[in-house]
């Protein structure tokens, strides 16, 4: 599981930061799951080593322009490239109507299946390897945060030990690999856990933006390996954050601390904190680390490998 930040500015792009988008790369599946799609996201793909042809799912947090204005263009380009497969899009009420209007008035036709899922809090996707859960945040419009859960995997199966025990290969091996207890034809009972190494604990990635501090974010982020949380404003501009229902750096850190996450990466920074101004982004990092030391700041094209727990 590898995340690449394709846009880390709030509201409008700057010379060095595009507006919101994060790619979650799943190399073993040759898939990319995209979170938000601000204007210019497809240009950011061109400047990265990511492939738009691998996008299989897109998760939209809310319908503000800096999170969705790049969606139609990206989908259209995927079709023109001729290598797109089905893309599933998840988001709040109104997303389907927005996309339909863009397609209708621009006379755009997708050459591949596009399915929009209007979602409510709870589990919105599950397969053999992953679950995706969403929950409400607190913003000026309906906004959703996302929690991606990699399922635990059984430890390495010791084939040599199984052979020494005289266990016949075949379907029994598959059961034992899953940690099941199996009774052999000769009456012996074998516990799969005795033939498997330590299970691999699944990783948890959480994405929360846009929102002011809220319990919904804390609940969603519980015990996450990596929490990506917006930090639009400095703590010194907290009044502005409350008015606009955005987070300060300290709010992001408070969510991380309350949720017991392993690492916090802040994003979605106001352009007001440009170099040379009274408050700069380094100040936001200092504020956050005073509360939650394991905090980093995202920048465009930062790639971060989500580590496995030992």
Query: Per-residue DSSP letters for 104-170?
Result: HHHT---SS-EEEEE--SEEEEE-SSEEEEEEE--SSS--EEEEEEEPPBPPPB-HHHHHHTTPPSS
pLDDT digits (tens, 9 = 90+) for 197-231: 888 899 999 999 999 999 999 999 999 999 999 99
CA neighbor of 256 nearest in space, from 198, 302, 182, 206: 206
Q: Cα dist. 159→104, 174, 200, 219 in Å?
A: 58, 11, 18, 41
Say if CB 52 and CB 82 are below 8 A apart.
Answer: no
Average pLDDT score, the chain: 94
pLDDT at 153 (0 to 100): 84
66 included as an active-site residue:
yes
From CA 249, how far away is CA 287, in angstroms rounded? 6
From CA 7, how far away is CA 20, in angstroms rounded? 4
DSSP sequence for 151-182: PPBPPPB-HHHHHHTTPPSSHHHHHHHTT-EE
Domain ranges (residues) in the chain:
2-153+200-305, 159-194
pLDDT at 79 (0 to 100): 80
CA neighbor of 5 nearest in space, from 299, 249, 294: 299
From CA 201, how far away is CA 255, in angstroms rounded? 23
From CA 125, how far away is CA 147, in angstroms rounded? 11
From CA 53, how far away is CA 291, in angstroms rounded? 40
Half-sphere CA count of 15, side-chain side, radius 13 A: 3
What average pLDDT does range 126-145 have in this prediction? 97
What average pLDDT does range 268-282 have in this prediction? 95
The CATH code that applies to domain 2-153+200-305 is 3.60.15.10
Band of residue 43 on the pLDDT scale cut at 50, 70, 90: very high
Please give the DSSP secondary-structure letter assigned to residue 248: B
- Of 36, 49, 66, 223, which one is the catalytic site residue? 66
- 28 contact partners, CB below 8 Å, separation of at least 6: none
pLDDT digits (tens, 9 = 90+) for 80-104: 766 668 999 999 999 999 999 999 9
| Annotated binding-site positions for Zn(2+) | 62, 64, 66-67, 139, 210, 268
């Amino acid at each position: 599981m590898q995340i690449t930040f394709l846009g880390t500015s709030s509201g409008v792009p700057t010379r060095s930061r595009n507006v919101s988008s994060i790619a979650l790369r799943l190399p073993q599946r040759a898939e990319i799951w995209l979170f938000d799609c601000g204007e210019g996201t497809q240009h950011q793909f061109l400047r990265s080593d990511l492939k738009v042809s691998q996008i299989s799912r897109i998760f939209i947090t809310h319908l503000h322009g800096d999170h969705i204005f790049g969606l139609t263009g990206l989908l259209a380009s995927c079709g023109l490239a001729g290598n797109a497969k089905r893309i599933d899009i998840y988001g709040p009420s109104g997303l389907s109507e927005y996309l339909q209007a863009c397609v209708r008035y621009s006379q755009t036709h997708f050459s591949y299946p596009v399915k929009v899922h209007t979602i409510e809090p709870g589990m919105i996707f599950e397969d053999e390897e992953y679950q995706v859960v969403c929950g409400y945040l607190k913003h000026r419009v309906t906004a959703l945060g996302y929690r991606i859960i990699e399922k635990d995997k059984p430890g390495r199966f010791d084939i040599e030990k199984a052979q020494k025990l005289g266990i016949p290969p075949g379907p029994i091996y598959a059961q034992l690999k899953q940690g099941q207890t199996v009774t052999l034809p000769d009456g012996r009972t074998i516990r799969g856990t005795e033939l498997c190494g330590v299970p691999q604990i699944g990783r948890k990635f959480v994405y929360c933006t846009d929102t002011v501090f809220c319990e919904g974010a804390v609940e969603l982020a519980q015990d996450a390996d990596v929490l990506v949380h917006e930090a639009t404003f400095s703590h010194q501009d907290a009044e502005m954050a409350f008015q606009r229902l955005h987070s300060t750096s300290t709010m992001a850190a408070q969510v991380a601390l309350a949720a017991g996450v392993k690492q916090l990466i802040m994003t979605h920074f106001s352009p007001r904190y440009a170099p040379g101004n009274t408050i700069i982004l380094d100040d936001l990092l200092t504020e956050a680390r005073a509360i939650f030391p394991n905090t980093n700041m995202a920048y465009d094209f930062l790639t971060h490998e989500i580590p496995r727990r030992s």
